């Protein structure tokens, strides 16, 4: 019985460390700038709903799923609308308008504030 408790403690510590690594990795997708942050995202269109689904360690991007198809700017409009809603600040796409990989500029938000917002959606 004593060994089982010890193993549970070790498992819990390893799980917590993995979580910390995920958040440290997530910081690679966020760059602080003078008036806000830049966020690198990788978009998957035609999903059931808008979700922040994870972090792509290889591309160093936050993975986003959206409902809209990538047609006539619909996907970009949904991304701007949803990120403006969750951050409560102006959002614009500054690169990747016709690509799955985009960079968002989110005004008046710090890197740590955005990290906390993303954590709440990824937990």
- The CATH class for the domain spanning 2-122 reads alpha beta
CB 115 within 8 A of CB 30: yes
Q: Which of 39, 33, 37, 88 is nearest to 63 (CA)?
A: 39
pLDDT digit string, tens, across residues 36-78? 999 999 999 999 999 998 888 889 999 999 999 999 999 999 9
Three-class SS of residue 5? Answer: helix
Q: What is the pLDDT of residue 84?
A: 96
Residue 46: φ, ψ to 5°: 60, 40
Supply the pLDDT for residue 4: 54
Question: pTM for the full model?
Answer: 0.80
Other Cβ atoms within 10 Å of 98 Cβ, number: 9
Comparing 40 with 119, the larger pLDDT belongs to 40
């Amino acid at each position: 019985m004593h060994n089982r408790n010890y193993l549970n403690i070790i498992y819990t510590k390893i799980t917590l460390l993995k979580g910390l690594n995920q958040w440290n990795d997530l910081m690679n997708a966020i760059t602080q700038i003078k008036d806000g942050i830049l966020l690198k995202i990788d978009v998957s269109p035609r999903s059931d709903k808008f979700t922040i689904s994870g972090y792509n360690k290889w591309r160093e991007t936050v993975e986003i799923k959206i409902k809209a198809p990538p047609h006539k700017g619909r996907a970009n409009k949904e991304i701007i609308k949803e990120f403006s809603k969750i951050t409560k600040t102006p959002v614009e796409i500054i690169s990747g308008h016709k690509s799955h990989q985009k960079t968002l500029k989110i005004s008046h938000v710090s890197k740590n504030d955005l990290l906390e917002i993303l954590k709440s959606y990824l937990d």
